[in-house]
Amino acid sequence: MRIKIIAVGTKMPSWVQVACSEYLKRIPNELNVSIIEIPMKQRAKGTNVNLAVIQEGEAMLKVIRANDKVVALDLRGKSWKTEELARNIQRWKQYGDDYSLLIGGPDGISQNCIERADILWSLSPLTFPHPLVRILLVEQIYRASAINSRHPYHR
């Protein structure tokens, strides 16, 4: 089983890299979590933002293998409690499928990615900066793995 976090944006601040690296080190190797960065299209004055989002989505879809299960992070998705995420990860491990978790850029995720997704997941009804979403997602995967292994991290 592999979990690929496919995220738009390649120049993350050091605090994002440090936090993600710390949680990735803590996640059990059996989950095989990695982050794949997709270059964000430039947003200059007069840029067609919708076209940029579509192009970013196309780049994300190219990284996904045909048999991957896809989870798109989107405000319209279902929200999960951490315990639900833990149960989902347990189920994913049992089936042995590879999962691609998609994080769009600052202007959202393309409709093509939404349509390709097997699951739409909303982290929160709040709006977060997309670099922070990486940290939240990796931390929640770590927390879910701690729940599944009965580690005291999650209380």
Specify if 155 maps to a domain: no
**Domain ranges, residue 98:** 3-41+49-148
Q: Can you read off the two tokens belonging to residue 30?
A: 């059996």
CATH of the domain at 79: 3.40.1280.10
Confidence of residue 151 (pLDDT cuts 50, 70, 90): confident
Q: Which residue is associated with the tokens 């739409």?
A: 120
Q: How many helices (H) and strands (E) does the chain have?
A: 5, 5
The pLDDT tens digits of the residues spanning 90-122 come to 999 999 999 999 999 989 999 999 999 999 999
Total domains, the chain: 1
The pLDDT tens digits of the residues spanning 40-88 come to 998 888 888 999 999 999 999 999 999 999 999 999 999 999 999 999 9
Specify if 110 maps to a domain: yes
pTM for this structure? Answer: 0.93
CA–CA distance, 36 with 112 (Å, rounded to integer) = 18
Specify if 117 maps to a domain: yes
| Interaxial angle between packed helices 14-26 and 130-148, expressed in degrees from 0 to 180 and rounded to the nearest 10 | 10
Specify if 153 maps to a domain: no
